[in-house]
Structures are given as C-alpha cells and as structure tokens.
A and B are shown apart, each in its own frame.
Chain A
Amino acid sequence: MGEERVERFGRAFEALRGEIQKVIVGHDDIVEQVLVCLFVGGHVLLEGVPGLGKTLLVKTLSGCLDLSFSRIQFTPDLMPADIIGTNIIVEDAEGRRHFQFQRGPIFAHIVLADEVNRATPKTQSALLEAMQEGNVTVSGTAYRVPVPFFVLATQNPIEMEGTYPLPEAQLDRFLFKLRVRYPALEELNEIIERTTRAEEPTVGHALPGDQVSGFKELVREVPIASHVRELASTIVTATHPQWPQAPEVTRRYIRYGASPRAAQALVLGGKVLALRAGRFNVSAEDLKAITLPALRHRIILNFEGEAEGIDVDQLILQVVEAAEVEARRGKEVFFR
C-alpha cells in the first residue's frame, strides 16, 4: 500500500514537471523546488531579474493544477484591503442594509504576488497571516483561505529604487527562496524557438487539485533517521555565530543565523525529494540538496560579510560541510 502511494506520488510529480517543462525551458531545479514547496505546503519566493520567466512559471503551474489562481501586482499604492478584501454595504430584497465581506484576490489556491517588494510593508504584512495561519481576519471575523493555499512571490533583486525589502519575519515565512538565473545558450535558443512560433505551447491539467492535499499528508509520513534529523539541526545551528562549535565562516560573516523554520523546511523538503526518488526514508543527501533554497533567505550577514561581498550560497555550502564534520564527530564506530 505504501509502495503504491509513493509510486503514485512519483508519477504525479513527474507529470507536473513534464507539463510545466512544455512551456518553461530549462530551470529544471527551479521547477523541481517549486513542486517540492507545493507538496510540502510551503510558499516560495522567486528572485530574479525581469524576463526570466518567473511569472510564466507560476501561471503555468496554476494551469497544470485544477486549482483557482489569482495574480496580485504589488505597487506602492496597493492597500491591504486590495489583497484580503473588505466589507461592503449590500441591500437585501427587503431593503435592509448590512455589511457583506467582499473577498479579495488572496482567496485563491494559488496566489502570485508579483514584485512583492514594491508594496509598502503594511501591505506586505497583509500576506503574513494568510501564509502562516491559513486564514484572514477582517473586522474581527476570520475567513479561511482555500486549501491548498500556495503563495508564489516574485521580486527583482537589482531594481531597488522605490522598493521595500521584505522584513526578515516575512522572509522566514517562505519555505524556499529560489534564485532564477539566466538561461544557457541552448536554452535561450529553445525559448526563441518555442515562443516565436504561430502556435504557443499549452498545458493541460496534470493533477487534480484535491490530490495535492493528500500528497501533503503522505509527505509527512515519510520516516527519517535520527542521525539525518541531527544533521538538519546541526546545519541550522551551525549558522548561528553564538554556537560554541560554529565554524569560522559563521563567526566571521553571519550576524543572525537561520530559525527553526529552516530545519523544518530542510526535513520536509527532504521528505518530498525522497518520495520523488521512490524512497521511503529521508537521506542526508536529500537534506543537502535543498540547503541553499531553505537557508539563503534566513541568514543575515554582518557588516564584514556585507563589506566583503560574501555570497550567501557559498557561505551555506561551507557551513554545511563543517556541520557534517561536526555531526559525525564522536560517532565514529571505531574510535570513541
């Protein structure tokens, strides 16, 4: 029974990925990590310069799933009520007036928050409650957002004039932060070939929306060994400069390390990767495969790190290497 469910998960995962790749050329790792977030039930922050297909990826994903989709273009004058909705006065058949809640675009299964750093922090924070709690409170009344609820936010890293960088508290609520990079030469050729023809590629429903919730439950059932769990904890703890065993790079360049949500993201993401590989357990390699997207937005560099232009990704790789050594220390089967 378990094998059958895992096989079904693997088939659904591959079907979704195949369908998305009909439209999106390259970015295999980005597509895979977006799907990991979908099945974990987390939210994704996509960062990249304009024109790399971030919005197209999200729209294609919504097209592949039989789920409602809404897009919110964030601008400086966008107000929280524009996202979550507002109470309006309506008149019933008997002429009596009363307030009725008009739902905003956040009440959709898949929400694309385009250029999320263009809105003011007040508006950005309107997403917080929905992302973390799964409901929206207006005038003291809580409204549940539909399940599954998947927020994909995009932001542009270079055009910082007139932007409001997301606060750390809100960044932490994103399961992964994915960096969309420029396509390779062959991929660019393929993009031109696909997008300049008369007929545009179309996608079909690869997965019924209600199955996504079922797969989320399956993901949480995947067993994990204690030493793999300890590795996740050690990786996250090794990003904290206050930890006595913290590696040198951490003490030198990091001001604040990752939160416990990072460890949750590592383990849950690892579980999805295990299922996708047809495995019934999480391996250390699964964790290491997703350390970059799970940690890069949760680490805050100190002045020295900023001044020296330290790449957070390179820093994380060094921290993971050191954490592996630390996790293995004292557990060698021969010498104690």
Chain B
Amino acid sequence: MRSEEAIRAAVQRVGRIVRVRRAALYGLRGLAWGLTTGLIPLLGKAGLGPAALPAALALAAVGGMAGIVYGLLLPVPLREPARLVDRTFRLDDRLATAVEHLGQVPRGPLVEALIEDAADRVRDRDLGATVPWRWPREVRILPASALALWVLVLLPPVRFPEGVFPSLTPSGEQEAERQAQSVPVAQDRRLARARETAPRVEVQERDYLRRRGTGRETQQGDLSAIFRDTNIAQRRPDFSSFLKHGDDRLKILGQVESLPDLQRDFTQSQFRVAFRRAKRLLAGIRPDQVSPEKLRELLDEMRRLGRRGGGEEWGQDVWEGSEALADGRMQRALEAMERALSRMRAMEERSGKGLEGGRDRGRGQGRNPGMRGGEGEDFGEYEGSLPGKGTNPDWRGAPSTRLAQDPLDSAVEGQPRRGRRDAFDTNLLGKGSRNPSHLPYMSVYAQYRKMMEEALTKETIPLDYRTQVKEYFRALEER
C-alpha cells in the first residue's frame, strides 16, 4: 500500500509541475499576442487620448492571464506525468505500466512486484527535473512587441492624413477637347484600314493560284482539298458567277459518294511512299550526285513492297536497277527505278485505291473459307478458333509445309500472320529490313518445352489439360 501511495504522490507531484509549466508557457504566449494587439490603441493615441496606454496594457494583461488560465485548466492524465518520469530517469516504462495497473483487481504477483519496483525507483528522486521548461515560439516576438509599445508611448500621437482625395476624373472641358483631337485620328485609321484591305485580296488570290493543280499533300484543316480531284479545282472564285448559277462546290458537297476519301491514310498508298522517298532522294541534285547507298535502300524498299503484293509488275525493273547499281551504272539504275515507279503508279490507278498489301491484303475478297491449317492461311477474327484453342478438337494443328519442303531449315524466319494480333505493324525501312528475325527451330521447341514443364509443376492446371499439353509436346517431338 505504501508503494501505491508513493507512486500516486510522485505522479501527482509531477502533474502539478506540468500544470505550472504549462501555465507559464501559455501565459507567455498570451502575453506576446496581448502586447502585439496592444499596439493598435497606441497607434490610435490621437483619437483615444490618455486612455490608449491603459488600453494597451490591459490587452497585454488579458492575453497573459488567459494563457495562464488555459494552461492551468488543461487536463493532465496520470499516465502522462508517469511517462515523463520514465523517460527522464530511463525507467523502461515501469512507472507508466504501474500507474495503469494500480486500479487492477485482483493484481497478479507480477503486477505487485512491478508496483513495488516502480515505487522503489521513484523514491528520493528529484522530480522537478522531470518537466523541462519550454519556451513558446511567440517569445521571439515578445521583445519586439514590448519595444514597439514603449516607443509608441514615448512618441507623439501619429497623425493620419485628413481631407478628400484629389479627383482623378477629367473635367468636362478637358474631355470635350480630347474628343475633338481624337476625331481626325479615327478618320485616318479608317482610311488606313481601307488601304490595307486592297492588297490582301491579291495575296489571297496568289495563294489560291499557287495551290491549284499541284496534287500536294492534304493539310489538316484545308477544306479546299475536298475539290482537289474535281474539275472545279481549277476555277477561280467568281462572285458574279456565283450569284447567277450558284456555286458548284455546294452542289458537289451534296454528292457525298463522289468526294474523295479524306480519311484514308496517305501511307496506305505504297506508290506514294516510294514516290515520296524517290523525290526526297533526287530533290535538288544531279543524277551523278545521287548516293548509291540511298538508291540501293530505295530499291530494296521497293522490292520489299513487291513481296507484299504486285511485285510481279515492277519486280523486274527493280532487279535491273539493283544490277545496274551493283555494276556502278548509276544512270541505268535511276532509269530502272523510274520505270518501276511508273508501273507502281499505273497499278495503283488501275486498282482505284492504294496498292494492296499488309494486313488489308485480300481482306473480304478471294477468301477460301474451307481452307484450314498449313502455311499462308488466314486465321481471321471470325474464322473459327485456332488449333488447340477453345472448342477446336484439332489441338495439334497442321505441320508446317515450309519445314516439310526444307528439312534442313533449322532457322525459322518470323512471319506476320493475318487476322487479329497483339503487335503493331511497323513499316520498317533501312538496313534492318534486310535482316528478318530468325530463331533456331529446335531452340524454340526446347524453350517452350521447358516453360511447359515449369508450368505443369508449379501452376494449377486441370488434369485434363495436363494430358493435352503433354500430348502436344510429344507430338512435336515425333515430328
């Protein structure tokens, strides 16, 4: 019991010290703000007269007192002083734990021992050192506020400016005079604007004339491009004709089907791709100054386009160009390239749209719905499930005809498959296009087999599927 009382007494004593220190802390805070607020009546000393100083002092006193009262009234739970004592004397939370378990009934032997131990450790301690003094942040402004107060007391009353502010609005005469001066200026401006208008028409006409018939690329927002391929593209705007007959452009806009497809991607036309590259290559230089490397790249690009479709028409010219280039006959190579370009253009004009190729090749035409398995078939989006997927019972798929043709083909070249895919089409140009990706066939098999084994051992796979996966790899092994 004596231990319990000793603990309570120690904690209460520390609690009292905490209150006093808190009161001092908040009192200083209140005093600082009270002094600062007290400067206001001193600034208005001229109006308040002799009551300004007592008012300032009263504000400071009220602030300080309010702080003290607030600090004294703040609650101090018993465990807070106990934790302070623990922290100060490094008691490893003994006192705080003991205080919390003082009211426990029944107490276990360990709690009894703890209370005894904690009481022994707080006896004869200087508990005053437990709660340190703390200075509030406002202490920094306290001297400045006091000094300002003292200075304002000594200085004579501050006189604020009196009377009305000067008028900034102009008088009626000044306004009339200014208006009179501004009339000729406005007239000049109107004349100047009229003079500016005339040449603008010429500039617009010049721009329009330069545009017509160039077949240049469509610019975004250029509405005149709608009429680019029509007979009215050559006409100049004629206002009197418009009044008599109406504008042919408006009539054409009504015939939606006859308008060219502006949404079509320019790069869909492979002739234009090749033409643009050739133009860039030959722009501004003589044929003997053309870089053979660049010309070879262009011919390779054209050959690559030929592989995607239509190559039988211009392939011979491209081949001749390459041969001539290899022999160092630049002029012959350029002629062959131009012939190939002409054939490409002719083919495009025959087809009425861009050359076919890429993922659009043959889409919607010439399909053989019965064809399944093997190389070159189209596993389109709506052409049934792939072998080994979904409900397709043919889980093995057909053997690769390419491998059957060349049993020594150990490196498989990557080939894009038509239909839906997760990759992006890239229009690869340059040297990289001559090196398609290869992967040793047996290496592919080994990689996939290893992945299969790992998946079978480490992942949750239904038993039915396990057999199917194993059978699939066994079938591959047989081939």
Whether, in the assembled complex, A3 has its beta carbon less than 8 Å from a beta carbon of chain B, the answer is: yes
Cβ–Cβ contact B117 & A280, under 8 A: yes
Q: A5-B109, A223-B114, A333-B80 are in contact. Are A283 and B74 (CB under 8 A)?
A: no
Minimum distance in angstroms from B127 CB to a CB of chain A: 14
Interface residues on A, range: 20 to 34
Cβ–Cβ contact A3 & B113, under 8 A: yes
Question: Which residue on B lies nearest to A224, using beta carbons?
Answer: B97
Question: Which residue on A lies nearest to B83, using beta carbons?
Answer: A227
Whether, in the assembled complex, B414 has its beta carbon less than 8 Å from a beta carbon of chain A, the answer is: no
Question: Which residue on B lies nearest to A275, using beta carbons?
Answer: B110
Q: A225-B93, A279-B94 are in contact. Are A333 and B113 (CB under 8 A)?
A: no
Q: How far is the CA of A317 from the CA of B328 in the complex (A)?
A: 73
Whether, in the assembled complex, A284 has its beta carbon less than 8 Å from a beta carbon of chain B, the answer is: yes
Cβ–Cβ contact A282 & B93, under 8 A: yes
- Pick from B74, B84, B97: contact of A228, CB under 8 Å: B97
Which residues of A in the span 222-250 have a Cβ within 8 Å of any Cβ on B?
222-228
Q: A281-B93, A282-B93, A285-B92 are in contact. Are A333 and B109 (CB under 8 A)?
A: no
Cβ–Cβ contact B108 & A221, under 8 A: yes
Whether, in the assembled complex, A329 has its beta carbon less than 8 Å from a beta carbon of chain B, the answer is: no
Q: Which of B17-25, B232-240, B440-448 contacts A (4 or more CB under 8 A)?
A: B17-25
Cβ–Cβ contact B92 & A279, under 8 A: yes
Whether, in the assembled complex, B30 has its beta carbon less than 8 Å from a beta carbon of chain A, the answer is: no
Which residues of A in the span 263-283 have a Cβ within 8 Å of any Cβ on B?
279-283
B55-81 interface mask toward A, CB cutoff 8 Å, 1 = contact, 0 = none?
Answer: 000000000000000000010100111
Whether, in the assembled complex, A1 has its beta carbon less than 8 Å from a beta carbon of chain B, the answer is: yes
Q: How far is the CA of A238 from the CA of B456 in the complex (A)?
A: 38
Whether, in the assembled complex, B329 has its beta carbon less than 8 Å from a beta carbon of chain A, the answer is: no
Cβ–Cβ contact A333 & B76, under 8 A: yes
- Pick from A223, A284, A285: contact of B101, CB under 8 Å: A223
Cβ–Cβ contact A334 & B21, under 8 A: yes
If over half of B's interface residues share one DSSP class (helix, strand or loop), that class is named, otherwise mixed; here it is: helix
- Chain B residues whose CB sits within 8 angstroms of the CB of A1 once the complex forms: 109, 113
- Chain A residues whose CB sits within 8 angstroms of the CB of B98 once the complex forms: 281
Cβ–Cβ contact A2 & B93, under 8 A: no
Question: Which residue on B lies nearest to A5, using beta carbons?
Answer: B109
Cβ–Cβ contact A283 & B110, under 8 A: no
- Chain B residues whose CB sits within 8 angstroms of the CB of A225 once the complex forms: 79, 93, 96-97, 100
Q: How far is the CA of A226 from the CA of B117 in the complex (A)?
A: 19
Minimum distance in angstroms from B41 CB to a CB of chain A: 31
Minimum distance in angstroms from B457 CB to a CB of chain A: 9
Interface size on B, residues (CB 8 A): 29
Question: Which residue on A lies nearest to B22, using beta carbons?
Answer: A334
Cβ–Cβ contact A281 & B80, under 8 A: no
Question: Which residue on B lies nearest to A285, using beta carbons?
Answer: B92
Q: How far is the CA of A226 from the CA of B98 in the complex (A)?
A: 11
Whether, in the assembled complex, A98 has its beta carbon less than 8 Å from a beta carbon of chain B, the answer is: no
Whether, in the assembled complex, B134 has its beta carbon less than 8 Å from a beta carbon of chain A, the answer is: yes
- Chain B residues whose CB sits within 8 angstroms of the CB of A223 once the complex forms: 97, 100-101, 108, 110-111, 114
Cβ–Cβ contact B93 & A283, under 8 A: yes
Which residues of B in the span 119-170 have a Cβ within 8 Å of any Cβ on A?
131, 134
- Pick from B76, B84, B100, B109: contact of A2, CB under 8 Å: B109
Q: A2-B108, A226-B100 are in contact. Are A280 and B134 (CB under 8 A)?
A: no
Q: How far is the CA of A333 from the CA of B25 in the complex (A)?
A: 12
Q: How far is the CA of A224 from the CA of B101 in the complex (A)?
A: 9
- Most A Cβ at <10 Å: residue of B109, B110, B112: B110
Minimum distance in angstroms from B451 CB to a CB of chain A: 16
Q: How far is the CA of A336 from the CA of B22 in the complex (A)?
A: 11
- Chain A residues whose CB sits within 8 angstroms of the CB of B134 once the complex forms: 334
Q: How far is the CA of A87 from the CA of B111 in the complex (A)?
A: 49
- Pick from B81, B83, B114: contact of A281, CB under 8 Å: B114
Cβ–Cβ contact A333 & B93, under 8 A: no
Cβ–Cβ contact A333 & B84, under 8 A: yes
Whether, in the assembled complex, A6 has its beta carbon less than 8 Å from a beta carbon of chain B, the answer is: yes
Cβ–Cβ contact A281 & B94, under 8 A: yes
- Chain B residues whose CB sits within 8 angstroms of the CB of A122 once the complex forms: none
Question: Which residue on A lies nearest to B109, using beta carbons?
Answer: A2
Q: A228-B93, A285-B92, A336-B74 are in contact. Are A221 and B22 (CB under 8 A)?
A: no
Q: How far is the CA of A334 from the CA of B18 in the complex (A)?
A: 8
Whether, in the assembled complex, A197 has its beta carbon less than 8 Å from a beta carbon of chain B, the answer is: no
Q: How far is the CA of A94 from the CA of B109 in the complex (A)?
A: 57
- Chain B residues whose CB sits within 8 angstroms of the CB of A222 once the complex forms: 110
Q: A5-B109, A223-B114 are in contact. Are A281 and B97 (CB under 8 A)?
A: yes
Question: Which residue on B lies nearest to A121, using beta carbons?
Answer: B458
- Most A Cβ at <10 Å: residue of B25, B74, B97: B97
Which residues of A are interface residues toward B (Cβ below 8 A)? 1-3, 5-6, 218, 221-228, 279-285, 331, 333-334, 336
- 10 A-B pairs besides A221-B108, A280-B111, A282-B93 with CB distance below 8 A are A2-B109, A2-B111, A6-B110, A223-B111, A223-B114, A280-B110, A280-B117, A281-B114, A285-B92, A333-B81
Q: Across chains A and B, which 4 residue pairs bring their CB atoms closest together, nearest first?
A: A2-B109, A2-B113, A280-B114, A281-B97
Could you give 6 example pairs across A and B, Cβ below 8 Å?
Answer: A6-B113, A221-B109, A281-B92, A283-B93, A285-B92, A333-B131
